[in-house]
Structure 1
Amino acid sequence: MFYYFFGGGRPPEVNFSYAPTVVSYPLAFTYSFAYATVSALAAWESGKLREYRIWYLAPTRSQYLVAARSLLAPIGLAWLMLSLPVTVALIETQTLPTVASLGPLFMAMVLSVAHAVIGFVVGSRIPALISVPIMATGTWVFVAFSAASPPFWLRHVSGQISSHLMFGEAIPSRVLLPPLIFAGGIALGVALIWSRNFHWIVRAGMAITVSIAGVSTSILLTDDWGHTPPLLTAQAPMKCAGSTPKVCLPEAMSQYLPKVRAEVKSTLGALNKAGVKSHPALVTDRVEDGRYQRRSTQNEWKVSFTQALLVNGNIRYRLGFEAISFDCEKPDVAISRSVRLWGASILGEADAERRRVAVENTPFDGQDEVEETVRDVLRMRQSQQSSWYYRNLAKACGG
C-alpha cells in the first residue's frame, strides 16, 4: 500500500473510470513484492516442517495435504497484497471491475501459488536461514528487474505486466499465458523432485523434462514481442449519436456529445462548401486507440476529441486537420504546409495551424513563402481554390 499512496501506484486523475487502466497502476508495483513474499514464507514454512520432523511424526498423513495446509497462509497473504491495492483503486475511482481488467490480477494470484510451491521445495532442502533470504531477494530481483533487462522475452514471462494501460487498451489472454507456463513448468518440476511417488531417477527425468518444456514454450511464445506486449485496443465503452456521420465519444465524456456533433456538422459543411469533399460515415475519438494510434480513413475519421475537451482545445481545427489526408508518410514540407494552412484558413483556424508549425521539429525556413502562397490562393475564386487544393494534395506526394 505504500507504493499505492507514495510510489506512483495510484491511477491517474483522468482515468474515465476505465477498469483496465485503474487496475494496471497498483498491480504494476505489487507483482514482485507479492511473489517474493509468498516464495520466502513458503520456504520458511517448509523449513519449520523439516525442523520439527513433521514428516516423520505423521508418516500416514498425506504429504500433499500437509504441504497445502502450510501454504495457505503465505498464499493468502500474497493474494491480499495483490487484491487490496486494486480494491482501493476501484473504490477510490468509483470504477466497476470487468473481466478484462481482472485478468492480470487472476494471473498474479495463480503465479503466487506457483512461487509458493517453488519456495516450499527449496525450503525443504536448504535451511531456512539460507533459503528464505535467497527466495525473497532472488524472486524479487528476477521479477522487478526483468522490465529493464534484455532480452524482451524475460519481462513477458516474469509475471509482471509493467505497462500502465491507457484508455481503450486491455491485456489479451495470450499475454497472460506465457508467465503461467513458465512458472508453472518450474513449479511442477520441483514438485516432482519433492514427491515420493516414483524412483528418484524417474522423478528427476520428469522434472527436467517438464521444466524445460515450460520454459522453452513460454520463450517461443514471447520471443518476437517487443518492449510492450501485444495489447487489445478500442475496448472502452463508447456512446454515439447521429448518422452520416455518426459521432462517438467515450461514455465518460458523453455529456459533450451534442456539442461535438454540432461542431462536426458545422465543420464538414464549411469544408464541403470550400470544395474539400468530406463525407465520413463515422467520426470517433482517437483516445480509444491507446498508444497504437490508427490513421483516419476516408470513411472513418479519428479525432482527438477528449484531448481537446480536457484542455479547452480547438475541435474545429482538429477536424480540418483530419480532413486533409496525404497519400504518403512524408509529403513535401512546403506544399503540405501550404495545403494545411489553406484548409485551416477556410475554417477560420489559421492561427491554430501557425501555432502547430511553430513547435514542429521539421527543419524548414520557407514559412514566409507558404504564407504568401496561401494569401494568393485565398484571393482566387472558390472553384480555383478547390482545384489548387486537389492538385497540391497529389503534388505533395510526388503526384
Structure 2
Amino acid sequence: MDERFYDAYQRIWELPRTGEVRVQMGQESAFKKNLFGAIRDLGLDRDHHRITNRGLYKKFHEGLIEIAETHGTDLTEDELRGHFQTKKSGIFSNWLGTPPDTYKLVFPIMIRSKHFPDEVELYESKAEQIDEDQWENHLIAAENDDDSSFDSFLDELPNDYSDHPLKRREWTFLMVEMKARDEFYALHRVSELVEIRFAEINFFDQLWAAGMPQPGSSDRAPYEKWTRHQEPPFYLIFQDGDFVTYRPMDFDYRRSVGRFHFNHADDVDEISDIPTFDYDADKGTYEGYIVSALLAYQDGITERSVRQSFFSFWRGIEILSNTSDYSNASDFDKMVDRGEFALSYHHDMDDSLRPELKRAIEEIEEKRHELVHEGLKTEIHQGHRNGAKLLLDGLLLLYIDKYGQWDLNDMSSFLKHGVEYQEKVQFLTTLLTDLS
C-alpha cells in the first residue's frame, strides 16, 4: 500500500457531537494531495478503462471513509493495509471489471438548427439534435437540482438559454452519448471530440478567407474574432435519466450564427461530408500532425486578440512545416517558404491568387525577419494574422488531401523539393525579365 493512502486516512476523523466521519477541517488540501498523488502512480490507462483520476479519487475517498466508519479512525498503517487492499480489490473488480456506464451530455451551440444536420459524426460517437421540449426538460432538471449551483451559473451568463420561443430559435441543442466509468471522463472525452469537430468544420468553412468577415451595416460593432463556431458555454451531464452535474466552459457572450460560409448549395450536407480525425492520434504521426494543427487553427479562428490569433496560426504552421525552432533564421524561412509553396500549390503557382491573398502573404514576407530578430515582442497586426492563416490553410489542406496516401517523409520531401522548384522558377523568371 502506498504510504500516501495511509497519510490521507490519518486526516479523517469522527465529529464528536454527530458521529459523522469526514476529512478534518483544514486538512482537505493535504488529504487531496496525498490521495491524488497515490492514484496517479497507480498508472491506470485512462482511455482503456475510460476513467479519470478525479473519478478514482472519488471512489478511494469513499472507500477510506467507509473503512473509518467501520473500523475507526485510529488504525495503524499495518492494520489499515488489509482493509485497504480489500476495498481496493472491490473497486477494481466491481467498477473496472464491469462494462462502463452510458452518460448523456446535452448542450447548446450558437447555430440555428435549420442550418445544422440532425446528426454529426464525432469520430467514436455522434452528436444528435434534440428538440425544444427535450432541451427544456433537461434544463429544468439541472435548474431544480438542490445540490447544483447551475441555476446561479445560468443567471450569470449574458445569453438566454431558456425555452423562450424567441430566444431558443437562435440555438441548436445537441445530445451526445458516451461510454465512461465516471462523469468526468465522459465530459473530458465529449469536449475533446466537440473541439476537434468544430476545428474541422471551421477549417473548411473559413478556407481561403483572407480577412475577418465584418457586419454589412456600419451601425453594428465590428466582429472581434473570425468565427463564433466554438465550444458550447456549458455541458449538462445525465446518467440513467438523472442529472449528475454541469460543466461551465466560459462566460462569453455568444451571437447566434445564421449560416456557414460554404460556397456550395447546402451547408448541412457540407458539414456531414467533412472528414473526421482521431483526437488521440499520436502527435508524431501524420494524423497527429493534422489534429494538432487543426486545434491550433481552432484557437486562431476563435481568438479575439489579433496577436494571440496570429501565434495560434503560427503554431500550426510550425507543426506542418516540420520545423522545430522559428527563432532560428533558416528554420523560420523554411516555415514561410513551405507555407507559401503549399498555398501556391492550391492556386496554380500564384497565377490564381486573389489580390487580398497576395497582400496577406506580402505582410508575412515583411514580418519574417522581425520575428526572427525580435521574437514574440514584435508588433502584430491584422495583415500578419491574415497571412499566417492563409499559410496554415495551404499546409492543412495539403496534408488532408494526401491523408492515407503519404507519410510524413513523403510530405517533408514534397515540401522541400517544391520550395526548391519554386525558387528556381522565380530565379528564371527574374532573369528573363532582366534580360528583356
> Which structure features the higher share of helix residues?
1
> Which structure features the higher share of strand residues?
2
Q: TM-score, normalised by structure 2?
A: 0.31
